[in-house]
Structure 1
Amino acid sequence: MQGQALEDRAEPGQGDVGRWRSGVRRAVLLGARPEPWRRGLVLAALALLLGLLLLLHALIPNRIGNLGSLVETFLPWFGLGVPVLLAGALWRRSGSAVAALMLPAVVWTHLFGGHLIDKSHPGADFTVASHNVGAANPDPAGTARALAASGADVLALEELVPQTTGTYEKELVKTYPHHTVVGTVGLWSKLPLSDPQPIDIVNYGPLAKIAAAKQKLAPNRALRTTVATDHGPLTVYVAHLGSVRVNPRAGFWTGSRNIGVQAIGRAIAAEKNQRVVLLGDLNGTMDDRAFDDITSRLRPAQDAAGDGFGFTWPASFPVVRADEILLRGVEPKSSWVLPATRSDHRPVAAGFDW
């Protein structure tokens, strides 16, 4: 009996075996579960790639489908990847992904954080406005009245067509007694204008004929004129650059637009007057390297004195700032987007001091 008792004590009971197996299972599961720094490595890699794209966007080549310009056109929107990846990192409880997200967050803030701050200042000596009124605008008279109410001293209109140009002239004449129209662009002014000249932004350079034929562009899409002010002459350029297209074969096609950029850039480089304003639908954003010929000589008013990104196209839900006001020789005080009209673009305005 004593030997039997010793044998009973030596063998564990069924309950002890169950507890032992459960403990082993828990140990295995805990050992297999990654630590916070080992979870979400894919999310961490995506965060680093996003940061590198924002940091090194200027190195993305344009040789293949103008990929670099396409990325730079929508560059601010890549910032949306940060909260998306952050949500995934928090869901996975991944410390490595959260840490990696510091790179795109810091780079995006460096590039675009200034747009989140209101840099405008009250009061301005002179106000300018620009609007692509839209060839298919069903209410040109209403659009003209809305623009006249903006208070701008000078108003540039793009995409004028013969059917509506007369309406704009009739509706704007009381507020703007001076105006000039060249092709599809025009300038209305409260002050006298002089020496209006067309600028050919279509037939410029060796590839101009190919680009123009592809879009059948009218030759008169830009002008230069001088506004007589109490502080001396102000040179104003108005331009409607060629449209851009995105398609699987050509990628981001910007041929005619880039030809216009070069033509305007050359004209401004030769401009003797130090006070210059460029108004118009430029069909691109100033983050796009293609506009270096212009941004190296003129300052975007929105960057200097804007509040927000100032997106203008499409009017129903703007995602890019295709319409610009650029300055030289004056001090920008404010820049803003005017209320939408019946056009597919929103008008823009800016005020500056002499």
Structure 2
Amino acid sequence: MDFSFNKQINRKNTRAVKWDLVKTLYGAEDVLPMWVADMDFQTPPAVTQALTERAKHGIFGYTFTDNALQDTITNWLSYKHDWDVKSSSIVYSPGVIVTLHMAMQTFTEVGDKVLIQTPVYPPFYDIIKKHDRELVKNQLVLDGDKYKIDFKDFENQLKQGVKAFILCNPHNPIGRVWTETELAEIVALCKQYNVLILSDEIHADLVFAPNKHIPIAKLDPSMTDNIITCMSPTKTFNLAGLQVSYAIVNDKQKREALEKTFHKQGLHILNTMGITALEAAYLEGKDWLVKLMEQLEENMNYVINQFANRKDVNVFKAEGTYLLWFDFRALNLSQEQLKIFLEKEAKVGLNDGASFGEEGTGFMRMNIACPLELVKDGTNRIISALDRRDSNK
């Protein structure tokens, strides 16, 4: 089937966070939103068809998950990541962040130290702080054009009594896909210091060749019971509003404890349409995903090439996700000045780098999961604003 990713879909007046909150967030209607991490592409036709057929039924009562759904998930993980997962290890959830909140309640206590690698997805901070845990940072190190893990600092932090570590792989916002060597060292250190790994792998399917996503729970059988992996089809197939995800929890005691916490919060039933979409996406979305990755790579290469010869901005080539990390530090602007420049002068709405932690000061994040013409528009707006700025000096 020929999938087109060039059609511009009008998302306004659909209560779309990205498009219908533009004036609220940026103070003007003419700002191009390239921030929140959903796509401006329609989901695979097979998903739309499945949802349409389910809607035609007309009854949306309580829905349960069954063996067929479990098999769909395990088959997908085997196909995409060469990962053999037991069906019994699956715990369903409305979302990855929900699961991380539930895991924080279940496996840590007030005052426990929880480690994250910064700059990182803003909700990670909330997950720790809102449960009154102690936030511990392992700052990622920028080595040339690539971020790396400071393993000496990582171990030093673990030595201080860290109870849990939240991994982001692929990493949001920097776009790193951690290698097997890097992941193996993480596992070895967490094993040595008895640290629970909570792995957010929601972008696992969105990886550019030759990079390869490796579920961290695959690496050491002796650590599998101390790793909880959170995954979902929502980023992959643009289903975020349907709120469906799952966690892989191999250890029976941990699985039952986590499920008990979900039940305490009344979060034990999935969205009917979410179930339908997950099943259709994993069963019939493979070819669509191949074409999506081709389009995302074309979009990324366009942006990087346009900024390639500039000294005032550096764009990091993403190994995974559809998010690009921009380094604007050479402009010598404060973070507030940088935001104003992009919003008022370039008329582009990006994610504030400082929202990912103080290590993101001077940086911004761009979402390129949209038709190439929109990517070109946003890119050219920024370049034109930079050129005007230079001419006014």
> Is TM > 0.5 for Structure 1 vs Structure 2?
no
Q: Which structure is higher in strand share? A: 1
Structure with larger RCO (C-alpha < 8 A, sep 6+) = 2
**Normalising by the residue count of structure 1, what TM-score does the alignment of the two structures yield?**
0.29
**Normalising by the residue count of structure 2, what TM-score does the alignment of the two structures yield?**
0.26
Compare CA radii of gyration and give the structure with the larger one: 1
Q: Which structure is higher in helix share? A: 2
